[in-house]
Structure 1
Amino acid sequence: MEHLLSAGDEVTVIDNLSTGRLENLRDVIGHRNFRFIEGDILDKAAVDKAVAGANRVFHLAAAVGVNLIVEHPLESLRTNIHGTEVVLDSVLANGASLLLASTSEIYGKNTADSLNEDADRILGSALKSRWTYAAAKGIDEAFAHAYWREFGLEVAIVRLFNTVGPRQTGRYGMVVPRLIRQALAGEPLTVYGDGRQTRCFSYVGDIVPAITRISEVPSAYGQAFNLGGSYEISILTLAERIIELLGSESDIRFVPYEEAYAEGYEDMRRRVPDNGKARQLVGFDPKTTLDQIIRNVAADQRSETQAGGRLKVSMAGN
């Protein structure tokens, strides 16, 4: 949003504020090129109002966070599948192009050294909410691809790998802001399972420009692109690094998955992206180190605490 406004674009945002707050928009509220609509992507009239007159649409709205997905599976399915169809229809009718934000969850349990966009999807039971979310996002991508093939919709897909940044909290299961909050408060850092599961974290400041550039390249239409960090780290090592970097006196507490989440959760052991396709298309090369990500998120949380406000929640759409 800030990135687009700084480039001189006119920006309209639609959000139902279920996981976001208007405070997150305080730096852009009142900007002459910014308009906010409080509405839901399941509401066709609201979506049509937001899309009218646009030449580019970024579909970032989704049910997000492990906790929300596991505890409210039906709401998540409706938002992610039906909401995306509403957006696709509106964008097509208005003659705009679309950038669809998908997820690394698409790959499920595939633990390959480096997942490329054609990697096999290995999902668990359809009765476990973790995998129904992955299936729903896969349907989103299939819908988008079908609209491209059958209707000529100019749509590109990006698969995001654990994107982290300011204005994000651990409220819905985001591990980095949750661990940082605990470290700053002197609380035990809760590591789920044995902590040996690994992830590659990416910084929002690296991801947003790449998303924007991909949306501008016609050859990206009908394709999917991974966007993720380049450094693999276990969650246990991440917790240890946060404690060290922030000078915290917290210890680490291991929490069994069955205690951490409602029924229906299953973890994956590894998730490593191959960014080669996005690198070739738009020169994607994430520069922000994990240490800098931790420092930036910690600085944001300290600022919020000092201001007497609650911690921010990331604007993720729905």
Structure 2
Amino acid sequence: MSFWHDKIVIVAGGAGFIGQHLVQALLNAHASVHVIDNHSTGRALEVQPRTQQQLTQQHHDICTPTMMPKADVVYNLASPASPVHYQGDPIQTWKTNVLGTLKMLEHALDCGATLVQASTSEVYGDPLSHPQKETDWGNVNPIGPRACYDESKRAAEALLMDAVRTASADVRIARIFNTYGPGMTDSDGRAIPNFATQAEQGTPLTIYGDGTQTRSFCHVSDTVEGLMRLGMVDAAKGQVINIGNPTEVTILEIAQQINALFGNKSDIVFEDRPVDDPQRRCPDIGRAESLLDWTPQMKLQDGLITLHQTGQIRKSA
């Protein structure tokens, strides 16, 4: 992608699951990348720059002021993203998603940079419409245990769109749906790494709820391609765009697929569904198709087979 050649890109949260894949893609596209991460959920960078000068790192919490390089594009992926992590320290989740976003916005404005914000499908809550469109306002419990993430991401979107209207900020917001792929950890708490770890161990797979709830799983390579295009395409300026795979699958179906891949003969067991866990989740990606010329390429079955064959679910430290 010649667009990225010699661009200076800041990736906040670049040591996280999606962040590391994005950083590597930017490096491959000849950008110079500065990663900011406090490693609360991230890990040591495992990327390969072409030269030592192409990649710099900063161990820092984006909620507090710091010196950052002048950038052409700023990606803000800094946030815990699984319930086990964002509910573990809900106040810090709020700070990261609101105060941290404000800091990244201020720096982008100072630089005249594009800011690509990683928002989430969680802003739709337990949606009242299906599939979810960017024009949907969502159905979120503002005082529930998930609100620290759902509502702070919604607040960040409101902040950024105010900056678009009042300061002509070049902001593009990605509402990222369930993403999976290499680099997820077995302690992540989300469905695919949980199921894969249990199946590999030959233990029963645990579903929280009755398994009829649906999700739409997008391979991380496709998610990163969508994020890259958001940073490049002028038509995305000031837009909120769903990034996800519109192929819907029940949680029971995904558990059965993973069980079969690993040859696990254990049962699937059911436990209580978490509070405010959404029943259906599936993106309308018409806006991404028209503005970004983007659609997911990796089929779920192919992605799961690759995960199984290569053992790409990481063991916790």
TM range (shorter): 0.7 to 0.9
Q: In structure 1, what is the equivalent of residue 107 of structure 2? A: 90
Q: 1:43 aligns with which of 42, 64, 89?
A: 64
Q: Residue in 2 aligned with 1:147?
A: 163
AA at the equivalent of 2:70 = G
**Which amino acid is 1:203 matched to?**
H
Matched, 1:274 2:284: yes
Query: Relative contact order (alpha carbons < 8 A, sep ≥ 6): 1 or 2 greater?
Result: 1
Structure 2 residue 183 is the aligned partner of structure 1 residue 167: yes
How many residue pairs were aligned?
295
* Aligned residue type for 1:266: D
Q: Can you list the C-alpha shifts for 1:171-220, whole angstroms capped at 9, x where unaligned? A: 24221111111111112111101111100000111111121112112221
1:12 corresponds in structure 2 to 34
Please give the alpha-carbon distance, in whole angstroms, between the structure 2 residues aligned to 1:278 and 1:137: 20
Q: Which runs of structure 2 are paired with 1:99-248 in the superposition (5 Å)?
A: 99-124=116-141, 126-248=142-264
The alpha-carbon deviation at position 26 of structure 1 amounts to 4.9
In the other structure, the counterpart of 1:60 is 77
Deviations 1:100-146 (A, max 9, x none): 0100001111142211100131112x221213421111111111111
**Contiguous gaps of at least 5 residues in structure 2:** 1-22
SS in 2 for 1:71: coil
Give the conservation status (yes or no) of the 8 Å contact 1:179–1:189: yes
Q: CA RMSD in A?
A: 1.9
Whole-Å separation in 2 of the counterparts to 1:18 and 1:131? 20
TM-score, structure 2 normalization: 0.88
Rate the CA distance shift 1:170–1:269 in 2: closer, same or farther, 3 A: farther
Residues in 2 aligned to 1:92 and 1:31: alpha-carbon distance in whole angstroms: 28
Q: Which moved more, 1:156-165 or 1:284-293?
A: 284-293
- Tell me the CA shift for residue 163 of structure 1: 0.9
Query: 2:184 aligns to what SS in structure 1?
Result: coil
Contact kept? 1:111, 1:270, Cα under 8 Å: no
* Corresponding residue number in structure 2 for 1:315: none
Contact 1:227 1:278 in 2 (8 A): yes
1:286 aligns with: 296
TM-score, normalising length from structure 1? 0.87
% identical equivalent positions = 33
The code of the aligned residue for 2:305 comes to R
Alpha-carbon deviation of 1:170? 4.4
Aligned counterparts of 1:29 and 1:18: Cα–Cα separation in 2: 27
Distance of 1:134 and 1:162 partners within structure 2: 14
Structure 1, unaligned stretches of length 5 or more? 305-309, 313-318
Matched, 1:33 2:54: yes
How far apart are residue 296 of structure 1 and its match? 2.8
Aligned residue number for residue 307 of structure 1: none
State the match for 2:11 in structure 1.
none
